[in-house]
Amino acid sequence: MVAPGREASLRLLLDTMNERPGMADPENALLPFGFFERLHFARFALLDDATTADLEAFGLPRPKVPPLYLAFVGECDGPVQAQFEEFVEKAGSGLRRIFAHCEGFDGSSHARLLAWLAAHDLPVGANYVNRIGRTVRQVLEESELQKLLSASAPREPAAADARTVRPQLRAQVKPERPAGRPTLTPPAPTPLEWRLRNALHLVGIPLAGLLLLPLAIVLAPFAIAILRRQEERDPEFHPRPGAAEVLAMQRLEDHDVSNSFTALGAVKPGWFRRALVPLVLLAIDYACRHVFGKGHLARIQTIHFARWVFMDDRQRVLFCSNYDGSHESYMDDFINKAAWGLNLVFSNGFGWPRTRWLIKGGARHEMRFKHYQRRHQLPTQVWYKAYPGLTLSDLERNRRIREGVEAGEMTEQQALAWLRLL
């Protein structure tokens, strides 16, 4: 929580980290993100949620929440604790300058700063990773490989080129490796502890569901009845966002082929919704870990990372994502390809367009949905991306190029398809 009277100076300090509005300088003096080799994305965002006042329009109590939070969100390879330790070791003084604006901050030593970061690390309700296991090093190395091979590849390869050109290109790579260009580091082995925890999660969640199935069968009719009654009575509140607010958001967008999205909203009042949201996010998290971590979220293939985080005793939910393309195309993708998923997660938020049976309606009301998400979107004051200019399509293409380099014999058609990637 930001200390009273410190907001203005904090905003000015965060601005010094940027090379353009909202876009971090990778070598900024406070937290030089580019020095951290395992960091994919990172952001600082001030969580100033004016929409809590919406509840008062219907005579509902406003959530008792602090007026302003500072959120630091990052996606990294490996354990979070290891990344914290690297932050403190390499940028401890900058972190102290930033977090000194927060109430109760104590970073007088490396140990205290590390403990403070760990204590304020909120548990994630659900987390999505586009391709589990893909590291920053892999992305950067495969990008360099693509540049090297593309410079020598035929522009319009024909079948006759396949068998002769591919070996020549592969031969180009090997002499370069001792000089480090390009280096193709073998994937690090997955830690045994992670594999065990993941296997336990894969089996444990369905097993727990199976054990609770008799109780769920008994309670299901009551839950369905409560849900439908609340859906029919839920107040709708989705005014058009102010033009000035939208313009301020747009100033922070489209500086790269990717963008960030930060949003905060209140959970609908009452015990039922507050009990339902964790169950929904548990299901979403399970699907993200075991179904959708191979290049897509449902049918959407433009999201690098996304996460949902509970705040204020589950009264509010923070949603953060990193995605390719424009804001409009991002929203249209959700509407056209995963509206049911949006409804499943966000229909428990106050002001969401009215749903039926939790998954119908809702985001299908296009303009109401777009007004809702823009009003709940918050500026991302500082945003960092480790591989600017690269989309997920680029990352997938480069991965396939590397596979073609490391593969053995190919048929003529396989070799031609590989050449066309270049």
**Statement to judge: residues 253 and 289 lie in one domain:** yes
pLDDT at res. 181: 59
**Statement to judge: residues 255 and 301 lie in one domain:** yes
**What's the number of domains the chain is made of?**
2
**Strand, helix or coil for residue 56:** helix
What are the tokens at 419? 């050449």
Cβ proximity of 351 and 333 under 8 Å = no
Q: What is the mean pLDDT of the chain?
A: 89
| E strand or H helix that includes residue 112 | helix 110-119
**Statement to judge: residues 206 and 158 lie in one domain:** no
d(CA 266, CA 245): 19
Cβ proximity of 339 and 362 under 8 Å = yes
pLDDT at res. 53: 81
Alpha helices in 234-297 (DSSP H): 243-250, 271-290
**Statement to judge: residues 91 and 140 lie in one domain:** no
Give the neighbor-by-neighbor strand order of the sheet with 382-385.
Answer: 18-20, 23-24, 382-385, 39-47, 69-76
Q: Which domain holds residue 354?
A: 7-134+188-385
Distance of CA 280 to the CA centre of its chain: 18
pLDDT of residue 19 exceeding 70, the answer is: yes
**Statement to judge: residues 42 and 120 lie in one domain:** yes
Domain assignment present for residue 294? The answer is: yes
Type of residue found at 125: G
**Statement to judge: residues 116 and 162 lie in one domain:** no
**Statement to judge: residues 415 and 312 lie in one domain:** no
Q: 15: phi > 0 → left, psi -120 to 50 → alpha, else beta; which?
A: alpha
Spatial CA neighbour of 74 closest among 139, 3, 122, 108? 122
pLDDT of residue 177 exceeding 60, the answer is: no
**pLDDT tens readout for residues 249-298:** 899 999 999 999 999 988 988 899 999 999 999 999 999 999 887 888 87
Cβ proximity of 263 and 319 under 8 Å = yes
**Statement to judge: residues 164 and 295 lie in one domain:** no
Predicted model pTM: 0.93
d(CA 307, CA 372): 19
* Percentage of residues in the chain having pLDDT higher than 90: 55
